[in-house]
Amino acid sequence: MYRNEYDAIVVGSGPNGLSAAITMQQQGLSVLLLEGRDSIGGGLRSAELTLPGFVHDVCSAIHPMALTSPFLKTLPLEQFGLSYIYPAADAAHPFDDGTAAVLYSSLEKTAQLLGEDCVTYERLYAPLLKDFPELMAEVLGPLKVPKHPLVMARFGLKALPSALQLARRFKGKAARGLFGGIAAHSIQPLSNVATAAIGLVLSLNSHAGGWPVPRGGAQSLANALADYFVYLGGEIQTNTYVKTLSELPPARAILLDVTPKQLLSIAGERFSSFYKWQLQRYRYGMGIFKADWALAAPIPFTAAGCREAGTVHLGNTIEEIAASELQTSRGQHPEKPFVLLAQQSIVDNTRAPKGKHTAWAYCHVPNGSTKDMTAVIEDQVERFAPGFKDLILGRHVMNTAEMESYNPNYIGGDINGGVIDISQLYTRPAIRLSPYSTPARGVYICSSSTPPGGGVHGMCGYYAAKKALKDVFGLRIFLSN
């Protein structure tokens, strides 16, 4: 049962909804967090999807930005059961000749293994790594006058080109492939302007802290955030799917961790025609087809570096990756898609019974695709790890429709809350002085459909809450860099 009234209500318990709720509750307000499913977490959930004893991350798996998020890193989550585990290598990128490029937390070690591109790699990343704390504070937020203009200028010169353009700095396939695989997390053609930014930011996160996994599964991070929120005095109610604002008890501020499609459905009647028109024109991106496996043994990658990496990018050369991503963006299904694979159980023994393992992978597909990509994905893994298929004890797959059914924010299987290209990065979800406010007084959007977009960092929720605190409660809050 609800109380009669709250200061603020947050709808949706993904990382941004949880961050928004915590930010409001930290100011001593009465905050209610509502979740439509029977457990909190949004994209931060884990479950036994295949066989008993095998714990799989249902959505997100590797969390580099949770470590470096200007907001999340301020929270005492370790006191609420969260611990991170670090693989020996953050990511690996195998090639058909049996070799692999490997991303280590150490900038120097990564560079040294890139042969002829060693010096180029260090010269590209070392200055940005020096600026990293200030850079993340600027990048993970809305468009504003930068506090560190020189830092942003140095980053912008390298980040604004396409991933393909920036990769031309490198001579060898190893460095080019490694960067291409990381940049492909942008879920858009690698020829798009500013796709280099995604590759740079994720690589820098590795060199600044690593790409860890939460011990026990992604759910552990969600649980720690929720427990901290409740510790502060917040209230959580699950199994409460909100369809309209009229269902909610009175509150001075309402923050919605939803994308534009749901925002229109829930609160559209309170919006201006121009704002509704902008939301209707919002662009969703490629979807994903995801597979989880219960395995009899670790994946037998040919390249040794892949066997110690938490994340493995399967796509061979940057040219092959770029071609497959372009095909997908045009509504096609490549025969050899780029596959992102995580093998959390090589470092986290809580994920599977003794001696057994789990693996998690997805490829990009056209938005709304229901084509079964299981065999295609497994062929890509087998390509770089002969004998993989023989190890499969059980599998669980989800197409874009099933992803959206599981998490309504994944429209058409889009896990980024909308395309994060140069034209929809800072204008998401609409062109306004504040992307988090809506024309309805006291109603805000706090999802990844606002800047800075997708990723487990909580900054969309933090900035939406910051705006609501200022507008509704006259409170100003700040994060230290």
Q: Which pair of tokens denotes residue 197?
A: 């930014």
Whats the size of the chain, residue-wise? 481
The DSSP code sequence of 278-329 is: HHHTPPP--EEEEEEEEESS----SSHHHHTEEEEEE-SSHHHHHHHHHHHH
In a domain, 469, yes or no: yes
Spatial contact of 20 and 461, defined as CB atoms under 8 Å apart: yes
Spatial contact of 472 and 442, defined as CB atoms under 8 Å apart: yes
Can you tell me the mean pLDDT for 362-371? 98
Residue 434 has pLDDT above 80, yes or no: yes
The pLDDT, as a whole number, for residue 282 is: 98
In a domain, 425, yes or no: yes
Q: How confident is the model at residue 479 (pLDDT cuts 50, 70, 90)?
A: confident
| C-alpha to C-alpha distance for 215 and 83, rounded to whole angstroms | 6
Q: What is the CATH number of the domain that holds 447?
A: 3.50.50.60
In a domain, 96, yes or no: no
In a domain, 447, yes or no: yes
In a domain, 478, yes or no: no
In a domain, 251, yes or no: yes
The pLDDT, as a whole number, for residue 1 is: 56
Q: Each residue of 57-108: pLDDT tens digit?
A: 999 999 999 999 999 999 999 999 999 999 999 999 999 999 999 999 999 9
| C-alpha to C-alpha distance for 57 and 458, rounded to whole angstroms | 18
The pLDDT, as a whole number, for residue 85 is: 98
Residue 2 has pLDDT above 70, yes or no: no
| C-alpha to C-alpha distance for 83 and 214, rounded to whole angstroms | 6
| C-alpha to C-alpha distance for 120 and 160, rounded to whole angstroms | 18
Nearest to 61 by CA among 310, 301, 414: 310
Residues 453-474 as b/e (b if ≥16 CB within 10 A, e otherwise) read: bbbbbbbbbbbbbbbbbebbbe
The pLDDT, as a whole number, for residue 3 is: 67
Q: Each residue of 250-292: pLDDT tens digit?
A: 999 999 999 999 999 999 999 999 999 999 999 999 999 999 9
Can you tell me the mean pLDDT for 210-221? 98
Amino acid at 192: N
Domain span holding position 226: 6-56+63-82+214-284+417-473
- Total domains in the fold of the chain: 1
